[in-house]
Amino acid sequence: MEINNAIKRAKRNDQKAFNYLLDTFWDDVYGYQLKRVENENDAEDITIQTFSRAFDRIETFDESYKFKTWLITISKNIHIDLLRKEKSSIAQVLSNDDKSIYQILDEAPTPEDKIITEQNLAKLLRDVKKLKPHYQEIINMRFFQELSYKEISSQLNEPINNVKVKLLRAKKLLAEIIQKS
């Protein structure tokens, strides 16, 4: 399959085209992020977010540009957003003698937060149960059992890229269920 053809098919929501694009460009985006963040897990998470965002907005892709460049730009922006969120969690306070100090905000959950989290978790589990069984299984393995993609791949006896695409699809369907409720 040729890339431009795959993009056109992906714009028509062809799953095989999404798989082809993911397989073709995964290493480029992952390698780019690995150089930036120097952490395999973070690079993998950002790469997955990149493909998720790109596939959600594939219809906005302008074919006069290179697809790889578009993906790398999305990836770079996701990384920048994450860095901004990280910085915003630190509050800068000036002391009386005008020396700058940084105070880390206390993010430990209060008892009320714990109750809310438990209620949200129960609701999330109900929403996960609305997914098809194979999507429930992959969500459970990744987010509740905290298995790596490699571990999921070996347990399901599927290629790692299929696991990644299936997880992207499961997260997208779960997000739609959550938005409806």
Residue range 7-22, pLDDT digits in tens: 999 999 898 999 999 9
Ramachandran angles phi, psi of 93, nearest 5°? -130, 135
Q: Which CATH code, of 3.40.950.10, 1.10.1740.10, 3.40.50.300, 1.10.4190.10, is assigned to 3-87? A: 1.10.1740.10
Does residue 100 have a pLDDT over 80? no
Average pLDDT along the chain: 85
For 68, 107, 145, the CA distances from 62, given in Å and listed in that order, are 12, 42, 39
Q: What is the mean pLDDT of residues 151-166?
A: 88
Predicted model pTM:
0.55
Amino acid at residue number 45: D
The string of pLDDT tens digits covering residues 133-153 is 988 999 999 988 989 999 999
Residue ranges, comma separated, of all CATH 1.10.1740.10 domains in the chain are: 3-87
Cα–Cα nearest to 53, from 32, 72, 33, 28: 72
| d(C-alpha 36, C-alpha 42), whole Å | 10
pLDDT confidence of 92, banded at 50, 70, 90? very low
Please state the rounded mean pLDDT for residues 25-43.
93
- Which CATH number describes the domain made up of 108-180? 1.10.10.10
Query: What pLDDT sits at residue 50?
Result: 93
Strand partners, 94: 100
46 contacts 79 by C-beta, under 8 angstroms: yes
- Residue from 63, 69, 64 nearest 50 by CA: 69
101 pLDDT higher than 70? no
Q: What is the pLDDT of residue 108?
A: 73
